[in-house]
A = this chain, B = another copy of it.
């Protein structure tokens, strides 16, 4: 159902993940195409699911002090139900921005946006430790952000 992407598709995708507010004619010019084929390619890339969404990136520093904290969770054995309820809980907590299952010792890695240390301490006890299956938590607090992007490395890019 999804054919391979050519160099132009990759260039278009990379432009869009840098700046999706550009018009299709601007992008067309950048990648060396005229407006309408460029527009059609973008439509196709959306239909085929290469482009999942188009979102505004906000400046979190404008919304007060906050810090990312990585929390590694040690999980007990979970039934399928409990596991699903765990995942639903993760999705429902907006301060948890990312969650991954892990190889190795700790089972789950969370990235949490914490307004403060006090908030986070409360959060670990009142929320995280009460999630189904969570047995232990090891947290790593970040001090400052050097780089943060969602841009995927594509073959076309630098």
Chain A interfacial positions (CB closer than 8 Å to B) = 2, 13, 16-21, 48-60, 62-63, 68, 70, 72, 87, 90-92, 94-104, 106, 108-109, 113, 140-154, 157-158
* Chain B contacts for A108, CB-based, 8 A: 146
Contacts A53-B56, A102-B142: A97 and B21 contacting too (C-beta < 8 A)?
A: no
Residue of B nearest to A66 (CB): B152
B57 touches A54 (CB 8 A): yes
CA–CA, A101 and B70, complex, Å:
12
CB distance from A42 to the nearest CB of B (A): 9
CA–CA, A147 and B100, complex, Å:
7
CA–CA, A145 and B157, complex, Å:
25
Given contacts A13-B56, A17-B55, 4 further A-B contacts (CB under 8 A): A2-B62, A19-B55, A87-B146, A108-B146
CB distance from A144 to the nearest CB of B (A): 5
CA–CA, A53 and B20, complex, Å:
8
Residue of B nearest to A51 (CB): B56
**Which residue, A58, A144, A150, has most C-beta atoms of chain B within 10 A?**
A58
CB distance from A122 to the nearest CB of B (A): 15
Contacts A55-B150, A94-B151, A113-B153: A101 and B144 contacting too (C-beta < 8 A)?
A: yes
Residue of B nearest to A149 (CB): B97
> Out of B55, B95, B143, which one reaches A57, CB within 8 Å?
B55
> Out of B2, B57, B91, B158, which one reaches A147, CB within 8 Å?
B91
Residue of B nearest to A158 (CB): B94
